[in-house]
Amino acid sequence: MSLLNVTSLTPASFILNGIPGLEEVHLWISFPLCAMYSIALTGNFGLMYLIYSEEALHRPMYIFLALLSFTDVLMCTSTLPNTLCILWFNLKEIDFKACLAQMFFVHTFTGMESGVLMLMALDRYVAICYPLRYSTILTNVVIAKAGLLTFLRGVMLVIPFSFLTKRLPYCRGNIIPHTYCDHMSVAKISCGNVQVNAIYGLMVALLIGGFDILCITVSYTMILRAVVSLSSADARQKAFSTCTAHICAIVITYVPAFFTFFTHRFGGHTIPPHIHIIMANLYLLMPPTMNPIVYGVKTKQIRDSVIRFLFKRKDTLSQNVKQTLLNVRVPLPRLRSPTQQETLQRKPSMCPQGTPICNSKSSSSFEWLTLCSCR
C-alpha cells in the first residue's frame, strides 16, 4: 500500500477494495459480469457494423442507435476491465490520477448515454408527429451537431468533479470500498468537507438526468396525443411499436441509475454496501448488455436486416463454391494417332464388333468430356 503524502494529504494511489463482505465469492461474481461484458461488446459492435453495412438502416433512428451502441461500449469499458482485474487477480491499487481519469470517463459516458436516449425520444417525436418533414428536419448535419453538443455537455459538467475531488484531504486512508472510482465514493473517504461535492453532484444530476427525463416525458406526451388522434387501429399499433424498444431502453438505463444515485445520498445506512456496489456495476453494465438484444427483438427492420445479412453471406459462400467447381478444368486426352482423331470426329455409331460408342460432349470447355473408342 502506498504511503500518504504528509504535506498535502493527497495519496499517491487508492486501493479499490472490490465488494466488501463478499471477498470470498469475488471469483464467482466475476463470471456473470464477464459474460455480460462479452455480450455487450459482441452485441454493440455487431449492431454498429450492421447499421454501417446495410443501406436500409442509414436513417436518423438507426444513426442514433449506433451512437447509443458506441456510448455503451465506452461506458462499460471504462470500468469492467479494471473490475475484473480486482475480482480475478486482486489487483486493487490504482494511481490517483488514473482514478480521477476513470471518474471523468464514467460520468461523462453515463451523461452521454442519457443525452442519446433524449435525442432518440426527439427522433420518435419528429417521426410520428411530422412524418412528411422527418428527413428534412433530421439531416446528417443536425444529427452530428446534436451528438457533439450532447458529448460537450457531459464533458463541461463533469470536469469540475476532478478538481473538487483533488482538493480534498485524505487523512483517513486511501481504501475505497468500491470496484471503480465514483465521485461520491472517493469523496466519502476524505476527512474534509464534501458538502460542495454533494451539492454539485446533485446539480449535475438534475441538469443532465432531470433535463433529459423532462424532454423524454414531453416528447412521449406529444407522441401519445398524436397516436390517439389517429383513426386507424393499425396505424396506432404501428406508431406505438416503433417506440417500444426505446421505452425498454429508458427503463433499463434509468432504474439502476436512480437507485445508485439515491442510495449514495440518502440510503447509506439502510442499504448494505455490497448491494449498492453490485447495483452500481449493473448500472454501467445492464444497458450495454440489453440494448442490442431489445432493439434486435423489438425492431422489425433490424431483424430483417440481420436475416438478409446472414442469407447474403450464405449466398455469397455458395456462389464462391460454385465458381470454384466451375473453374476446375478437365484436360482433354492427347490424340496419339489419326485413327483415334477420326473416331472422335465421326458421329456416334456402332463398332464392327457391336460395341456402342459414347457420345462426346464438347459444347463447353468447362464440361466433362466423355470418350469411348472401339476395341
Burial class (CB in 10 A: 0-12, 13-18, 19+), 113: buried
- Please report which confidence band the pLDDT of residue 325 belongs to, taking 50, 70 and 90 as the band edges: low
Average pLDDT, the chain: 85
Query: Which tens digits make up the pLDDT trace of 332-344?
Result: 555 455 555 555 4
Find the range with the poorest average confidence among 115-124, 248-257, 261-270.
Answer: 261-270
Burial class (CB in 10 A: 0-12, 13-18, 19+), 196: middle
Helix intervals (H) in the chain: 26-53, 60-77, 80-89, 96-129, 134-137, 140-166, 183-187, 195-205, 211-228, 233-265, 273-298, 300-326, 338-345
Flag whether pLDDT at 319 surpasses 90.
no
- Please report which confidence band the pLDDT of residue 363 belongs to, taking 50, 70 and 90 as the band edges: very low
- Give the Cα separation of 149 and 286 in Å (integer): 25
Nearest to 70 by CA among 283, 304, 291: 291
In sequence order, the β-bridge partners of residue 94 are: 14
The answer to whether 228 and 247 have CB atoms below 8 angstroms apart is no
- Give the Cα separation of 191 and 173 in Å (integer): 9
Which pLDDT does position 46 carry in this prediction? 95
Q: Are strands 93-95 and 175-176 parallel, antiparallel or unpaired?
A: unpaired
Query: Which tens digits make up the pLDDT trace of 72-115?
Result: 999 999 999 999 999 999 999 999 999 999 999 999 999 999 99
The DSSP code for 14 is E
Radius of gyration of the CA atoms of the chain, in A: 32
Flag whether pLDDT at 360 surpasses 60.
no
Which pLDDT does position 9 carry in this prediction? 80
Which pLDDT does position 273 carry in this prediction? 87
Flag whether pLDDT at 126 surpasses 80.
yes
- Give the Cα separation of 18 and 101 in Å (integer): 19
- Please report which confidence band the pLDDT of residue 270 belongs to, taking 50, 70 and 90 as the band edges: confident
What percentage of the chain has pLDDT greater than the value 90? Answer: 62
- Give the Cα separation of 55 and 35 in Å (integer): 31
In sequence order, the β-bridge partners of residue 176 are: 16
- Give the Cα separation of 375 and 364 in Å (integer): 27
Flag whether pLDDT at 364 surpasses 50.
no
The answer to whether 190 and 176 have CB atoms below 8 angstroms apart is no
Query: Which tens digits make up the pLDDT trace of 38-64?
Result: 999 999 999 999 999 998 899 999 999
Which pLDDT does position 338 carry in this prediction? 52
Question: Which residue, chain included where needed, has cell 442509414?
Answer: 58
- Give the Cα separation of 207 and 198 in Å (integer): 14
Average pLDDT of 236-254?
91
Flag whether pLDDT at 355 surpasses 80.
no
**Which residue type sits at 276?**
H
- Please report which confidence band the pLDDT of residue 316 belongs to, taking 50, 70 and 90 as the band edges: low
- Please report which confidence band the pLDDT of residue 268 belongs to, taking 50, 70 and 90 as the band edges: low
Query: Residue 93: which residues within 8 A CB-CB, separation 6 or more?
Result: 1, 2, 13, 14, 15, 16
The answer to whether 102 and 94 have CB atoms below 8 angstroms apart is yes
